[in-house]
Amino acid sequence: MISEQIREDLELVKKTLRAAEVYEHAWHIVNFDRETICPPGAVEEKGELAAFLEGKVFEIRKSADFTAAFHRLYDALESGADFPEGPDRDMVKLWHLQITREEKITPQMAEEYARLSGRAFADWLRAKEEAKYPLFADSLEKMIKESSRMAALRGPEGADPYDIMLDEHERGMSCADLDEIFGVCTERLVPLLRKVTASKKKIRTDFLSRPVPLHAQQEMSYYLLGLIGFDLSHGALSTAEHPFTDGISRRDVRLTTHYYPDCFSSNMFSVMHEGGHALFEQNQPRESHDYFLTLGKTGGQHESVSRFYENVIGRSKAFTDLIYPKTKELFGEAMADVSAREFYEGMNVAGPTLIRTEADELTYTLHVIIRYEIEKQMIAGRIGTAQIPEVWNSLYEKYLGIRPANDREGVLQDVHWTDGFGYFPSYALGNIYNAMYYNRMKQDLDTDALIRSGNLAPIGSWMTAHVYAKADVLAPREWIRDITGRELTPEDFLNYLEEKYGELYEL
């Protein structure tokens, strides 16, 4: 029999989280506006409004009654008292972790951090536009200091601040784990890249830079979203300087892209990538929203889906064959003399490039490892903000053999450091996760046949049942074990790349 106290505490907790959710909803709308159609002169103002809303969320979650109720619920759960089975247990476990992390963070601290992040975003936009890192350096230094201070408050005493940041993005992951995983990746990716660049096989790419009108690219965006199953009655597509997706609420999921007149493939991969994020948001279990579990999924789990649709599906021979007629129809002269095989090869061309978001499957993980190595040094204080551009450029030369010509195509290309640190490894971990669960999926489905027929619904259903269903309640290592029956390993991903690029480049 569940005690009256437990019933009352559960009711109070849910009521409080619902109240906070209203402000979170408003924050998401303001933030989406800030990164899409907000005029440049109002970006910082919108950042101030977002900071106020974030402060209100913390204020509500810091109420004495809420905190006391949660501690009683967690103690009851841990002591073995009668407790409701199902999502109530997951809610208490998940939110106990969150409340513990926030215990020493005041609403004022949260609001000031959000305000600092908003100013950093405005400075980054200006710096990127002018390709002048010094315009962003002061804000970056403040973000490093404040992020480190906040991490020390959120984590166990004496813990490495960067380990705390990593754990918040990817539960259970530390520098020691990533050093081992990324070490294996570089040992195999760097030699593979050298073989590719030395190959006599030359892939045709001239058509990829041919101009394609904006309206044709927009029509392609909606065609691709329709293929993968994105629900436009509960979603929207917009544009942004740096494409992103926002699960604003259960019924409102928005994604963005960026159109380049002379690079149609950039938009196509952005839409597939952000569309993957959006599908994850649209297909979460209903109880994840009803029991406030949506904060449970990690960056790596999310990126596994976005990069699954962008690369494993979107760059596959089956998929490029499927969409080839549509590209011929929409892109006209740009595709007039391009064969289906040339289209597939061009969409999979590999080699050293400077921009992470435009990188091929083979080099992408190296872009992430570079950022990971820089973040470790930044947070540890081993390099100062003045040194970061040169460290960035040197690591690009080390891993990819190229150096940026300016800060826009170098250290200023990503928006992430305006919001904090520790997220970049999630992209590479996403590659590793999806390679593992794709191998498991192929035991149940003939994926190539489904893709060639244009019927991606069974793939979406498999993802909903196996990938999305428990992402909010299982830490990544447990989650990937639940899906595949195996322990986390980069081997599937590395084998996939070696096989694919071996065939493409006749290695």
Q: Which residues are catalytic?
A: 274
> Nearest 5 degrees, angle CA 353-CA 354-CA 357?
90
Q: Please state, in angstroms and rounded to a whole number, the distance separating the CA atoms of residues 123 and 273.
A: 27
Query: How far is CA 179 from each of CA 174, 182, 186, 373, 376, rounded to the nearest angstrom?
Result: 9, 5, 10, 9, 11
Written as one string, the DSSP assignment of 15-29 is HHHHHHHHHHHHHHH
> Nearest 5 degrees, angle CA 62-CA 65-CA 69?
105
- Residue 179 · residue 372 · CB < 8 Å: no
Check residue 248 and report its DSSP letter.
E
Positive/negative CA dihedral, 352, 357, 361, 367 = positive
Q: Please state, in angstroms and rounded to a whole number, the distance separating the CA atoms of residues 70 and 66.
A: 6
Which of 325, 326, 320, 323 shows the shortest CA–CA distance to 345? 320
Which helix (DSSP H) or strand (DSSP E) does residue 190 occupy? helix 175-198
- Residue 285 · residue 408 · CB < 8 Å: no
Query: How far is CA 381 from each of CA 116, 138, 148, 159, 182, rounded to the nearest angstrom?
Result: 20, 15, 10, 15, 22
Find the farthest-apart pair of alpha carbons in the chain and give their distance in angstroms, rounded: 74
Q: Please state, in angstroms and rounded to a whole number, the distance separating the CA atoms of residues 231 and 251.
A: 10
Q: Please state, in angstroms and rounded to a whole number, the distance separating the CA atoms of residues 70 and 87.
A: 15
Q: Please state, in angstroms and rounded to a whole number, the distance separating the CA atoms of residues 386 and 416.
A: 18
Q: For residue 321, what are its two tokens?
A: 């064959």
Positive/negative CA dihedral, 417, 181, 459, 338 = positive
Give the number of other CB atoms < 10 A from CB of residue 330: 20
Which of 279, 304, 286 shows the shortest CA–CA distance to 456? 279
- Dihedral angle at the C-alpha atoms of 204, 207, 208, 214, nearest 10 degrees? -170
Which helix (DSSP H) or strand (DSSP E) does residue 172 occupy? none
